[in-house]
Amino acid sequence: MQTDTPTLTLRPAFARGDADFGWLKSAHTFSFGQYHDPKHMGFGNLRVINDDRVAGGKGFGEHPHQNAEIFSYVTKGALEHADSMGNGSVVGAGGVQYMSAGSGVSHSEFNPSKTNEMQFLQVWLRPNKKNTPPVYGSLDLTDADKDGQLKLFLSPDGRDGSMKTHADASVYAATLTEGQRIETSMNKNRKAWVQMVRGDMVVNGQELTKGDGLAIQGAGTLTFDNGKNAEFMFFDLAP
């Protein structure tokens, strides 16, 4: 019988670093850009979680990346991507776009709407292999995929229809309403992170709300319940 309890450390939304460039408003869970905090440089191989709001017709012009696993989780509107590999796509709310920068790639990201704000979370993971050929992909997640369950969308082996990454990380999305409950087990040799996208819920007695993050270490059972319009990402990470 499992009696161990994982250790939980809250990273509250209000403590994140803020950036406001007019066209871009962003909250940084970890140090990024002009926000630097030596106590929050990442968690395990999870390096960046930026909660971005982009004004209509605006975006990030072409810029390079190398040796980073990057995905964007779109929550409102749409995100238009183009890169030096020749890829071009528009991913709407509920979709995820993924890029393994590997040996080097340049890309741009824009809000294709001229009038409506779009929102997305951009996440960077450290790869366990460097200078691999760059790769791009996207995946649409339906409401049913995430309803009261952890839906895998990124993994090292591409299992269960997920996109394949060079990071030692499996990333899930889920929604949770009252009456629903999700349980998963933590391995003592892994770390985990919960990132709230919207709403409220409770993880092992810890209340979480929109924008909160939760660092998890140690073996035991995780229980997600008391959801109120909750949507979140769950990261199973390298130790």
Q: What is the pLDDT of residues 123-139, one digit of tens each?
A: 999 999 999 999 999 99
Q: Kindly tell me if the per-residue pLDDT of 69 is higher than 90.
A: yes
* Token code pair at residue 37: 């905090």
Q: What is the pLDDT of residues 82-94, one digit of tens each?
A: 999 999 899 999 9
Q: Kindly tell me if the per-residue pLDDT of 2 is higher than 50.
A: no
Q: What is the pLDDT of residues 176-194, one digit of tens each?
A: 999 999 999 999 999 999 9
Report whether 47 contacts 126 (CB < 8 A).
yes
CA distance to 67, 76, 177, per residue, from 198 (Å): 30, 12, 12
Lowest mean pLDDT among 27-31, 83-87, 227-231: 83-87
Rounded Cα distance, 198 and 75, in Å: 9
Q: In angstroms, how far is CA 204 from the centroid of its own chain? A: 21
Q: Where are the domains of the chain?
A: 7-237
Which residue in this structure is represented by tokens 């939980």? Answer: 8
Taking the whole predicted model, whether its pTM rises above 0.85 is answered as yes
Q: Kindly tell me if the per-residue pLDDT of 234 is higher than 70.
A: yes
Mean predicted lDDT score pLDDT of the chain? 96
* Assigned architecture for domain 7-237: Sandwich (2.60)
